[in-house]
Amino acid sequence: MNIGKLFVCVLAALVLTACAGSPEVKEEKKNADVAAKANTELGVEYLREGNYELSKKKLEKALELEPNYAPAHDAIAVLYARVGEPRLAEKHYKKSLKLSPDSARGHNNYGQFLCFQDRHKEATAQFMKAAENSFYPTPELPLTNAGMCLAQEPDLEEAEKFYRKALEVRPTYGEALLQLCLLKYQELDFLSARAFLQRYMAVSTVTAGVLYLAAEIEGKLGNDRGRAEFVDQLLREFPDSPEADKASGSS
């Protein structure tokens, strides 16, 4: 090989390397990262508002600016799942987790997607990866999600284990308490259902649905007075709710 040509090639490579590390290129990369983050945040906000068209536009812009920005892949995956594009959703979930394998939020989101696809065992594995991340501040959330997913299979025994694990992490976590109440109601264990609902009502906002459930449980236990008290509260606090109509019609 011609030594002169080899020298030119090596020199060119050195020049390119120098350019890539130059202050101007670094500043341009920094600006692209900032813009990608801003567009992702806007995309997520539009997604929350249900404005899917604008959300898609902003998230695609984020990925155009920074193709390897994991949060943008995660967010657009959620968007595609919402609009019924599971193939594209899974593609971006996998890309997001490849770029950021330690993202507990990413694993939790992917787990929810898999659960909606009736891939319950795969979903549970993703929820566990999220829950086992020692830096994730709310492991009770993916643990409860795992329980809800398994309950759909249905595998109530395993679902209960995950709900109880969530309560070991946070004994006052309302969603796990409510799901255990519903599980015990489904199993016709009305005393346990009452106990979990009482714990739930002590830490969470009471809704029309919760009051209706409380009345139903008391009725199943033969406590007519307790049932009447919950029905009265339901009619008083939520008179226009569908639950109030049902309760008044059956009382």
**pLDDT, tens digit, for every residue of 96-117?**
999 999 999 999 999 999 999 9
pLDDT computed for residue 68 by the predictor: 94
CA dihedral 118, 121, 124, 128 (to 10 degrees): -160
Position 140 in a domain = no
- Which range, of 30-34, 123-127, 213-217, averages the lowest pLDDT? 30-34
- Chain centroid to Cα 55, Å, comes to 18
For the chain, how many structural domains are there in total?
Answer: 1
Alpha carbons within 13 A on the beta-carbon side of 248: 14
Please give the single-letter amino acid code of residue 216: E
Position 67 in a domain = yes
Q: Cα 243–226–183 angle (5° rounding)?
A: 60
CATH number at 54 reads 1.25.40.10
Helices (H) and strands (E) in the chain, counts: 14, 0
Position 44 in a domain = yes
Position 3 in a domain = yes
pLDDT tens-place string over residues 29-71: 567 789 999 999 999 999 999 999 999 999 999 999 999 999 9
Query: Is the confidence at residue 21, as pLDDT, over 90?
Result: no
Position 138 in a domain = no
Confidence of residue 19 (pLDDT cuts 50, 70, 90): very low
Query: Is the confidence at residue 1, as pLDDT, over 50?
Result: no
Q: Can you read off the two tokens belonging to residue 174?
A: 């309302």
Question: What percent of the chain shows pLDDT beyond 90?
Answer: 84
Angstrom CA distances, 26 to 17, 22, 63, 64, 238, stand at 12, 6, 18, 18, 59
Instruction: Record the pTM.
Output: 0.81
Query: Is the confidence at residue 10, as pLDDT, over 50?
Result: no
Position 56 in a domain = yes
Position 168 in a domain = no
pLDDT computed for residue 248 by the predictor: 80
Range(s) of the domain holding residue 45: 1-101
pLDDT computed for residue 250 by the predictor: 64
Position 43 in a domain = yes
- Average pLDDT score, the chain: 89
